[in-house]
Amino acid sequence: MLQIYKKVFWYIVIGVGIGSIIHNVIPREWIEGLLGANKWYSVFLATLLGAPMYADIFGTIPIAEALFIKGAGLGTILAFMMSVTALSLPSMIMLRKAVKPKLLFAFISIVITGIIIIGILFNLYGNVFI
């Protein structure tokens, strides 16, 4: 149990720090204008911003909560969280050592497509879930 605590502690601290910056510094209008559910590009942008990050799901929860409070679309937030955990740059570097480039490209393409589809669907029908 202590090993798990040590493993996720700094991710949570960093996530809470980023979440507090989003919550306290960045204006709501800016988040809504960039990542609102009504923006056609918000899911694509969130996926691209999340992919190079390296964090676990616990570190993205405070960021997601702050984005939700500031008006980001539910699908956009889900896309961000999924891309951080599934497409992080360090994970892709490790996968590159284990699989051939064609398979890695196929994996990335399928995951990005799935993330974008789910993000768009949740932006369109998010009010059903909340």
DSSP structural state of residue 37: T
Whether pLDDT at 78 is above 90:
yes
pLDDT recorded at residue 59:
77
Query: pLDDT, tens digit, for every residue of 30-52?
Result: 888 888 878 889 999 999 888 87
pLDDT recorded at residue 105:
95
pTM of the model: 0.81
What backbone phi and psi angles, to 5 degrees, belong to 70? Answer: -80, 0
Calculate the average pLDDT of the chain: 86
The range of the structural domain enclosing residue 93 comes to 2-129
Helices marked H in the chain: 2-24, 28-35, 42-50, 57-69, 74-86, 89-98, 101-129
Q: How confident is the model at residue 11 (pLDDT cuts 50, 70, 90)?
A: confident
Cβ 51 vs Cβ 83: under 8 Å: yes
Whether pLDDT at 129 is above 90:
no
pLDDT recorded at residue 118:
95
Whether pLDDT at 21 is above 90:
no
Q: Within 13 Å and on the Cβ side, how many CA atoms surround 97? A: 5
Higher confidence at residue 68 or residue 94?
68
What backbone phi and psi angles, to 5 degrees, belong to 87? Answer: -125, 25
In the chain, how many domains are there?
1
